[in-house]
């Protein structure tokens, strides 16, 4: 467009800086741009915004141009920092037993523009509140490494100095555990943080809650983590969902400590958010989570318990979108019967 309109590259640079780095609002940024009326800033439309009444969480539901709903969550943490949780896919093929997204029955990749627009729109919303966006985590809908090429392109654009110019160490990619893709990411983006959703160190148990564990068994993942450590020279995050009677005993804690031996990692214990589609699963109570954490800490392992925000607006990740999609499907069905 720049060439077509014979624009001064300076204008384009300024527009990019205003929008992607400062998160200026569209009208202000475009007012100073010669071809402002020809610029389409967004690929996602905001379908619904839900603010928590109890803490600093905001859920954003976006509609893609294909008409699918995805969600992003802004977490205004009490420390003053702000994290954005982004989606990388609509639905997810990993189909984990405890996850609402996996129960959607679809898996479609989001384009880099669709992932980046979540950052862009959330950044604009925060800038209007005079808040900075500090961290970006790929912990929304989808398995980022099932959308690897688009993920890499997104990370490239997020960290490029002439684009979003974000520090790679403020970005975290969470995965169910895809060996080759984890290594490729660690190699190409050694400063981007990796998190592995481990959830159990017993292969049989892990297979029952994460079907993909069949393809990527625990002994392979142990090797993956060692290699990732070598490539990154930094800790990986181990996510461990606390499910009552499944993976939360004292023995399980000791086994986890042993399993992680020699691996540079800190453990983040995640309280389970119950989902409608998994009535057989319940979360571990607070006291048992603390006891589990203590065993890990005594074994010398850095351990934190995830502070969960937005319980009133979110239930679990993916639930709201699933409900909206279902409502839409019912409406579409009614409409097609009427016409
Ligand atoms: N597919 C990626 C990223 C998306 S899920 C992954 O598996 O890591 C982000 C995190 O939320 C994962 O650790 C996942 O296991 C966890 N999670 C999924 N459903 C949950 C639920 N109902 N309650 C709490 N955490 C959940």
Our answer to whether residue 71 is catalytic in this structure is yes
Q: Is residue 112 in some structural domain?
A: yes
In this structure, the answer to whether residues 133 and 199 fall within a common structural domain is no
In this structure, the answer to whether residues 187 and 286 fall within a common structural domain is yes
The domain tally of the chain equals: 3
* Max Cα distance, the chain (Å): 68
In this structure, the answer to whether residues 300 and 223 fall within a common structural domain is yes
In this structure, the answer to whether residues 35 and 135 fall within a common structural domain is no
| pLDDT given at position 37 | 82
Instruction: Per residue of the chain (339 residues), give pLDDT as tens.
Output: 566 667 788 888 999 999 999 999 999 999 888 877 888 899 999 999 999 888 889 999 999 999 999 999 999 988 899 999 999 999 999 999 999 998 887 889 999 999 999 999 999 999 999 999 999 999 999 999 999 999 999 999 999 999 999 999 999 999 999 999 999 999 999 999 999 999 999 999 999 999 999 999 999 999 999 999 999 989 999 999 999 999 999 999 999 999 999 999 999 999 999 988 899 999 999 999 999 999 999 999 999 998 777 777 764 566 667 666 656 555 655 656 655
Our answer to whether residue 4 is catalytic in this structure is no
Counting ligand 1 atoms within 8 A of each CB, the residue from 91, 147, 174 with the most, and so the one to mutate, is 174
In this structure, the answer to whether residues 143 and 211 fall within a common structural domain is no
Centre a 10 Å sphere on the Cβ of residue 272 and count the other Cβ atoms it contains. 20
| pLDDT given at position 103 | 86
Stated pTM of the model: 0.94
| pLDDT given at position 107 | 82
Q: Is residue 108 in some structural domain?
A: yes
| pLDDT given at position 230 | 97
In this structure, the answer to whether residues 296 and 254 fall within a common structural domain is yes
B/e letters for 277-291, b = 16+ CB within 10 Å, e = fewer, are bbeebebbeeebbee
Mapped onto helix, strand or coil, the DSSP state of residue 27 is helix
**Ligand 1 atom closest to residue 273's alpha carbon, by position in its atom list:** 23
Nearest CA to ligand 1 atom 4: 139
Beta-bridge partner residues of 270: 241
Q: How far is the CA of 197 from the centre of ligand 1 (A)?
A: 7
Nearest CA to ligand 1 atom 6: 175
Domain that includes residue 33, residue range: 1-41
Catalytic residue of the set 92, 99, 185, 317:
317
Nearest CA to ligand 1 atom 9: 139
Q: How far is the CA of 99 from the centre of ligand 1 (A)?
A: 6
């Amino acid at each position: 467009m720049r060439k077509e309109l014979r624009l001064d590259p300076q204008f384009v640079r300024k527009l990019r800086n205003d929008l992607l780095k400062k998160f200026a609002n569209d009208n202000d940024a475009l007012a100073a741009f010669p071809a402002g009326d020809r610029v389409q800033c967004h690929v996602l439309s905001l379908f619904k915004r839900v603010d928590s009444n109890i803490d600093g969480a905001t859920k954003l539901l976006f509609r893609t141009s294909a008409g699918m709903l995805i969600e992003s969550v802004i977490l205004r943490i009490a420390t003053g920092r702000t994290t954005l949780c982004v989606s990388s896919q609509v639905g997810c093929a990993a189909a984990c037993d405890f996850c609402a997204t996996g129960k959607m029955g679809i898996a479609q990749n989001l384009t880099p523009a669709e992932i980046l627009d979540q950052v862009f729109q959330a950044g604009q919303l925060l800038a209007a509140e005079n808040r900075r966006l500090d961290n970006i985590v790929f912990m929304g809908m989808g398995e980022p490494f099932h959308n690897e090429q688009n993920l890499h392109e997104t990370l490239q654009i997020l960290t490029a100095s002439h684009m979003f110019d974000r520090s790679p160490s403020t970005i975290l990619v969470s995965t169910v555990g895809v060996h080759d893709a984890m290594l490729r990411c660690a190699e190409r983006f050694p400063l981007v943080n990796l998190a592995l959703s481990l959830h159990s160190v017993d292969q049989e148990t892990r297979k029952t809650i994460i079907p993909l564990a069949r393809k990527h068994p625990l002994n392979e993942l142990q090797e993956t983590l060692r290699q990732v450590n070598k490539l990154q020279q930094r800790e990986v995050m181990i996510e461990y969902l606390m499910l009552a009677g499944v993976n939360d005993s004292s023995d399980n804690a000791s086994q986890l400590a042993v399993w992680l031996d020699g691996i540079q990692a800190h453990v983040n214990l995640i309280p389970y958010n119950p989902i409608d589609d998994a009535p057989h699963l319940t979360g571990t109570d607070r006291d048992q989570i603390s006891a589990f954490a203590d065993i890990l800490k005594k074994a010398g392992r850095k351990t934190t318990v995830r502070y969960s925000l937005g319980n009133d607006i979110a239930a679990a990740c993916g639930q709201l979108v699933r409900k909206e999609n279902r409502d839409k499907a019912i409406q579409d069905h009614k409409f097609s019967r009427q016409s």
